[in-house]
Structure 1
Amino acid sequence: MASYRKRSGGWYVEIRKRGIYRSRTFSTKAAAKYWADEIEADIESGRPMGQHTLAQAMQRYSRDVSSKKKGARWERLRLDAFESSMAFSGKAIDDVTPNDLATWRDQRLTKVAASSLRRDFNLLNSVFEIARREWRWITSNPLKDVSRPANPPPREQLISEDQAASVKEAAGYWRGMEPRTTQQVVAAAFDLALETAMRAGEIRGLRGPQIHLAERYVDLPETKNGRRRQVPLTTAAVEILAAMDPDEPFPVTSGTMDATFRRIRRKAGLSEAFTFHDSRATAITRLAKRLDIHDLARMTGHRDLSMLTRYYRATASEIAQRLD
């Protein structure tokens, strides 16, 4: 049975059950009782020392939290990888130290880029935070005391007219044609991305009811930030979509699009640094010459204008030409 004592700064709770002793201090008695009930239930169920392991926390997060997200598959794969790569995943979660996590960070950096590790940190931080705030399995988040790798410098890649033409030529595609091969479909998607700044996933997900060519816009009911967005279409974008299947213009999966674009890139003689996603920054930079910042943000779906600057890559020379 748990016992509770009021102390300065919070409530101290002790548990003595079946030879197991646990204690902790909480800011409120309700939080202390919630934790004590969980620990006693764990002891009854036979968990060692009444503690939850980090692996159990990641498994519960995958089941109860990740499953409700759009990126559920990615998160589950990452959490499975964390569990297998962390030598300390079997430790009680409240025994995991910043030093454990820092060692894991340094090992990961020998295998993945800093940007990938920062995404891993974001996910792992969410696991610790929900274990602290909602499950009451820990009282502090050890990841808060671990330095994250620095952000990599922003990409400066913009797609030139010659490069865009090389991609279309390599795929055997020209604007206005009805694509008949997978390479032509992917090249048409790339062409549309350069006109609209839409993401590859948004383009792949287009279906007939979302496309309004007469009114010159497409409707995206669910986007990366979870909000609906209507994307205006240039005359060229209308021409591209008018030639596609009206019900499912881009019938390719994410994996097929990625692999096909890499093949097209090789045929075009372009380097691996050239990516489909560079079309978004290129389109935003071009559109910025015709739209004010608020219309541009509405078109691209950026709620934070400062984030828009990550994609806007006009050169100093181009900006200088507008000063005269």
Structure 2
Amino acid sequence: MKLPKPVKRGDVYRIQILIQGKRLSCTRNTAKECEQWAIKQLLESQIAQKQEEEGTKPKVTFKELLNQYYENIGLLNESKSSRSWMKGQVSKFDEKFGFLAYKSIYEVTPKQLTNWRNKRLLEVGANTVLKEISFYSAVFTYAQKELFLLEDNPWMLITKPKKPKPRARRIHPSEIDLMLKVLDYERGDEPVLPQHYVAWGFLFALETALRRGELLSLQMNDIYEGHLHLTKTKNGDTRNVPLSEEAKALLSLIKHNGKKLIPQSENAFRLMWEKRKTAIGLNGLHFHDTRHEAITRMVRVKKLPVEVLAKITGHKKIEILVNTYYNPNAEDLVEAFNQVA
């Protein structure tokens, strides 16, 4: 079979091949890497076809299946954050699964996965385990319905952890003051040092409900007179976020000439935040809590209807917005009730 030539698209190369009527593609940094991938896929297909004809199953380990899924499905995901998360799963796979990583996919049992689930729950929260189970189940579904290697998906035969109640944490004004103090930042000052930008970003997130990743990916040319235009979001869709007067005042404090609004990497920003909050005993405060606080304030102060709020925050499911991120206290509900009356 003649190998198709990789096509250059921007800074990367893409190649497409046809195997048993199915079109597969991959994107790599060089044409040679694309060709190596295509040759590997064709050889594996020929071996698998021969083994099928001889009545034997191809030898595929859990790790090999994961790598194939990542190459053929994961790298094509439109969301950069999703691709990054999947890459993390691949890089830490051996550490996370141990001997199961090199076990044949035909020999992975629901009992083994249940034991893995129980061990994993001792290491991370239930939400993380639920996300990982969903991902690895998709990997095995890929083997079942796209590669036709499996008849059943063992992940579908285990009990999922109970989803914990969503966080309903509000940020008290005293906590804001403590964070600004430990980050050596005064309201109204121009941020200069790395810790200043973390403090500034904290205040800006409280006004805009931006996720940390959205905040740190903002470019100066994403800022308009009355709104922000987000091109890099969690779900991959662009959205516009209106700016309050407080948010505009914060933006006026940024004086640098760089391309990024906050000239820091996400990892550096995160580490600074974690280190400083721990130093003052605010371990229970998550940066993502700014999203809860900001959304609750938008309802309480701005009186935004939920359908408008969803456009601002980027929520596609109204129930998640209402039940997870809108966290009014008793006084807020009483005030809202009396205003309607």
TM-score grouping bracket, smaller chain normalisation = 0.7 to 0.9
The alpha-carbon deviation at position 57 of structure 1 amounts to 0.6
Amino acid in the other structure paired with 2:49: E
> In the alignment, which residue of structure 2 is the partner of 1:288?
299
* CA 1:37–1:317: 2 relative to 1, 3 Å: same
The alpha-carbon deviation at position 260 of structure 1 amounts to 1.0
Stretch of structure 1 that moved more, 187-196 or 86-95 = 86-95
The alpha-carbon deviation at position 42 of structure 1 amounts to 5.0
The Cα offsets for residues 116-171 of structure 1, whole Å up to 9 and x where unpaired, read as: 21121121011011111211111221111100111122212111122112222322
1:263 paired with 2:272, answer no
> In the alignment, which residue of structure 2 is the partner of 1:164?
176
Structure 1 stretches of 4+ moved >4 Å: none
- Cα contact 1:175–1:239 (8 A) shared by 2: no
The Cα offsets for residues 20-63 of structure 1, whole Å up to 9 and x where unpaired, read as: xxxxxxxxxx99xxxx977334579x9x8523222211121122
Supply the distance in 1 between the matched residues of 2:312 and 2:149 (Cα, whole angstroms): 43
The alpha-carbon deviation at position 204 of structure 1 amounts to 0.8
1:223-242 equivalences in 2 (<5 Å): 223-242=233-252
Supply the distance in 1 between the matched residues of 2:72 and 2:337 (Cα, whole angstroms): 54
The alpha-carbon deviation at position 80 of structure 1 amounts to 4.1
> In the alignment, which residue of structure 1 is the partner of 2:86?
75
> In the alignment, which residue of structure 2 is the partner of 1:316?
330
> In the alignment, which residue of structure 2 is the partner of 1:303?
316
Report how many aligned residue pairs link the two structures.
286
Match of 2:192 among 177, 180, 198: 180
The alpha-carbon deviation at position 235 of structure 1 amounts to 0.4
TM-score scaled by length of structure 1: 0.81
* CA 1:222–1:258: 2 relative to 1, 3 Å: closer
1:60 paired with 2:72, answer no
Supply the distance in 1 between the matched residues of 2:272 and 2:182 (Cα, whole angstroms): 11
Match of 1:231, SS? strand
Supply the distance in 2 between the matched residues of 1:203 and 1:188 (Cα, whole angstroms): 11
* CA 1:96–1:263: 2 relative to 1, 3 Å: closer
1:82-97 equivalences in 2 (<5 Å): 82-84=93-95, 85-97=97-109
* CA 1:143–1:217: 2 relative to 1, 3 Å: same
> In the alignment, which residue of structure 1 is the partner of 2:48?
39
Amino acid in the other structure paired with 1:295: V
- Cα contact 2:296–2:326 (8 A) shared by 1: yes
- Cα contact 1:52–1:137 (8 A) shared by 2: no
The Cα offsets for residues 58-109 of structure 1, whole Å up to 9 and x where unpaired, read as: 1211222222332333313323433452423333323322112112112222
Stretch of structure 1 that moved more, 110-119 or 193-202 = 110-119
* CA 1:148–1:249: 2 relative to 1, 3 Å: same
Structure 1: gaps (5+ residues): 1-29
TM-score scaled by length of structure 2: 0.77
Amino acid in the other structure paired with 1:62: Y
Match of 1:158, SS? coil
- Cα contact 1:86–1:104 (8 A) shared by 2: no
Match of 1:149, SS? coil
Percent identity over the alignment? 27
Amino acid in the other structure paired with 1:242: S
- Cα contact 2:180–2:199 (8 A) shared by 1: yes
Q: CA RMSD in A?
A: 2.4
- Cα contact 1:196–1:233 (8 A) shared by 2: yes
1:18-29 equivalences in 2 (<5 Å): none
Supply the distance in 2 between the matched residues of 1:109 and 1:205 (Cα, whole angstroms): 32
- Cα contact 2:217–2:232 (8 A) shared by 1: no
